[in-house]
Amino acid sequence: MKIALLQMNSVADVDANIRQMNDLSEKATALEKPDMIVTPEVWNWYGGSKAEKFANADDQRGGRSYSAAQALAKTHKVWVHAGSLTEKATGGKVSNVTYVFNREGKEVARYCKIHMFDITSPDGARYEESAAVLPGREIVSYDCEGITIGCAICYDLRFPELFQALALRGAQVIMLPAAFTQQTGKDHWEVLLRARAIETETYLVAAAQTGPHKAEDGSVRLTYGHSLIADPWGHVICKASDGVGFTAGRIDTAYIEKCRKQIPVLEHKVLGAPAMPRMAAAE
């Protein structure tokens, strides 16, 4: 399976973001002929105020962004892992949601980001995702033509227990659409992705936002980019250069099995492993 990762600079304009996604997809499919296209986190709307975010979010299924990703799958006859989009929730908040469509445009999975990005960056800037976004609680994986794919989004990367749970469910590939900040990305992005790939012996597929966007307070904040795929041994097999663009890499399920036979970490797992059956005492 060949996967193309779109690296976008999404802004506070849904129509402009849809055009950017379609333009990159046209170029990626013409050059790479992928089986799947992956978009970054919040590809449909990035920046602006909480009220603007809610006003421009999709309604439950079938909104502008959902329909655009679905149409992309149908048009190019590819799977689309629509990184994440903003979708209206309750209390004036949105959900940060991944949708997955097969080659016919049928929805096959929905994942709502679990971990909220409420942190203070090294320069003192405060990020409070939970002020505008409702978290999910469900762990999600899906079958893609015989390959089991697990779902995660951005800040989820810092919580290895989610990735372990996906691996125990049989995930061979884990998707991580993201909008990592420039400051944390330069130090943590690649090392965390490679660590999660090594720990779970899966391919980590990370499509990222790149460049500037305006925050609610009017300040300009930068995202790191560097979309990449890390293989089960922790090697980076493809990476996007700086700026808007795309990259692509192939998933080799035989290589996953080879790595797991050499170092069978899932078989050796003790902490957090499914409960072992009790054995009767010998007479």
Could you report the per-residue pLDDT of 15-53, keeping only the tens digit for each? Answer: 999 999 999 999 999 999 999 999 999 999 999 899 999
Mean pLDDT of the chain: 94
DSSP H helices in 33-168: 50-56, 64-76, 160-168
Residue 78 has pLDDT above 50, yes or no: yes
Q: Would 273 be classed as within a structural domain?
A: no
- Asked whether the predicted pLDDT for residue 277 surpasses 70, the reply is no
279, part of any domain: no
280: in domain: no
Is residue 153 included in any domain, yes or no? yes
Q: With bands split at pLDDT 50, 70 and 90, how would you rate the model's confidence at 275?
A: low
* Cβ partners under 8 Å of residue 83, min gap 6: 38, 39, 40, 41, 42, 43, 98, 153, 175, 177, 207
Residue type, 232: P
Is residue 114 situated within a structural domain? yes
* Chain center to CA of 263: 26
User: Could you tell me the pLDDT band of residue 242, with boundaries at 50, 70 and 90?
Assistant: very high
Q: Which residues belong to the active site?
A: 41, 113, 154
Our count of domains for the chain comes to: 1
Q: Which residue range(s) make up the domain with 34? A: 2-268
CATH of the domain at 135: 3.60.110.10
Number of neighbouring beta carbons within 10 Å of residue 9 = 18
Residue 69: burial class (beta carbons within 10 Å; 0-12, 13-18, 19+): buried
For residue 209, give the nearest of 29, 54, 47, 27 by alpha carbon.
Answer: 47
Q: Residue 275: inside a domain, yes or no?
A: no
212-240 pLDDT, tens digit each = 998 888 889 999 999 999 999 999 999 99
